[in-house]
Amino acid sequence: MTLQTPRFPGSNAERSRLWNRALVLRHVRTAGASGRAEIARASGLSTQAVSNIIADLTGEGLLAEIGRRQARRGLPVAQYAVAPSGGHALGVELRPDAARAVLSDLAGRALWSGRRALAHAGPDEVAGEINTLRDEALAGSGVCPDRLLGIGVVMPGPFGHTGLAAAATELPGWEQTDPAPFLESRLGCAVVIENDANAAAVAERLSGVAQGLEHYAFLYFGAGLGLGIVSDAGLLRGAFGNAGEIGHVRIDGRRLEEVASRVSLARRLSAAGHAAGTVEEIEAALDAPETGQWLDEAAAALGQAVVLLENLLDPQVVILGGALPDALIDGLISRIVLSPASLAARPDRTLPRLMRGAAGRMTATHGAAALVLDRLFTPRLDAA
């Protein structure tokens, strides 16, 4: 084995097993409780192979038999389902001033959540705070430490040096540090790093409105406007992990973020004398005329952006979500008029072109946990 994981690693019996294990778990999760034969048909494996894998997984507590059902003829099928408490993931959302965390089980349910203020958001302090959050989460939920599959961390992007003006959201002190290996060595467990939009996109696939979808885009309202692209059932991350910087795209001569973001709404509201620093305050100003004006303007710009995404990426659907009240997302969706001159205006559509994300405003934190769980359910050749 090389030290540097190659782009395409060689395959062998053990990696085949890992791949097929993920295949079994994924089928059980997405298609619901299933019997061996059904999983075998869906995966192309022999029933015997599925049997062996199921024996492993039940032994490890990841899978559980949930009874037998006599459907048609024949022997009643032994139904297996993911055991929610077979594994857990800690999702951490890092912001310059605080870290939020959620401990989630395999079913995606939050067992514990917490928050810690950050005086400085540099690598050392962050590692320490995540460590504390993990301890609190495990203690507070009674979860056994060796049932923690990994920690997902959502950081504000873009990562590395780019031509984009350093937004106020970027974390200081991380310029020289590659977050994933650093945190992995400090925390002693698997760490997945993503930006908020990507995490939100993954969360929707795991337990939101994008279940079963393989191609979609998620427009994420954070401080600015982010974009998570899922293509061929995987995240599109780009050469440096920074794909999806849609906020800086110019629509009608203005950066999309200036028109369609929480910051742009807050600016408009506070100019009119409303407090608009938090989601709650924004929610309180739902009926303000400024909110209506913002909706109209934002919807016009977003409409063009969505058609742009449709034409470039040919997704099954575009999802809107993030740290905005559901009512505002719905308001945007109802106001957005999508051009029929788009790839996506196909007559045989089954899904709407726009949907609202299901995860609500804790999307990013939940998404961080979802990143870890997603790895368990996604066949991969490259690691354990």
Which residues contact DNA (rule: CB under 7 A)? Answer: 10-14, 16-17, 20, 35-38, 44-49, 51-53, 68, 70, 72-78
Could you write out the three-class secondary structure of 67-117?
EEECCCCCCCEEEEEECHHHCEEEEEEECCCEEEEEEEECCCCEEEEEEEE
81 CB-side CA count, 13 A: 10
Q: How far apart are CA 62 and CA 170, in angstroms?
A: 37
The site partner of 38 among its own copies, DNA, none (C-beta below 5 to 8 Å per kind) is: DNA
In this chain, which stretch among 129-137, 195-203, 288-296, 339-347 interacts with its own copies, using CB under 8 A? 339-347
DSSP secondary structure code for residue 373 in this structure: H
Distance in Å, CB of 254 to its own copies, minimum? 12
For residue 28, what are its two tokens?
């059980």
- Taking the least distance from each CB to its own copies, the nearer of 72 and 250 is 250
For residue 216, what are its two tokens?
């979609």
Distance in Å, CB of 347 to its own copies, minimum? 5
- Taking the least distance from each CB to its own copies, the nearer of 182 and 216 is 216
The site partner of 315 among DNA, its own copies, none (C-beta below 5 to 8 Å per kind) is: its own copies
Restricted to residues 210-229, the positions that interact with its own copies (CB under 8 A) are 214-215, 227, 229
Restricted to residues 45-84, the positions that interact with its own copies (CB under 8 A) are 45, 49
- Taking the least distance from each CB to DNA, the nearer of 44 and 289 is 44
Q: Cβ(125)–Cβ(118) under 8 Å?
A: yes
Q: Cβ(106)–Cβ(143) under 8 Å?
A: no
- Taking the least distance from each CB to its own copies, the nearer of 81 and 351 is 351
The site partner of 278 among DNA, its own copies, none (C-beta below 5 to 8 Å per kind) is: none
Q: Cβ(92)–Cβ(183) under 8 Å?
A: no
Distance in Å, CB of 16 to DNA, minimum? 5
Q: Cβ(353)–Cβ(338) under 8 Å?
A: yes
Q: How far apart are CA 165 and CA 184, in angstroms?
A: 29
In this chain, which stretch among 41-49, 93-101, 267-275, 283-291 interacts with its own copies, using CB under 8 A? 41-49
End-to-end Cα spacing for the chain? 14
For residue 67, what are its two tokens?
């009874």
Q: Is 240 in the site for its own copies (CB under 8 A)?
A: yes
Q: Out of 312, 327, 337, 383, point to the residue binding its own copies (CB under 8 A).
A: 312
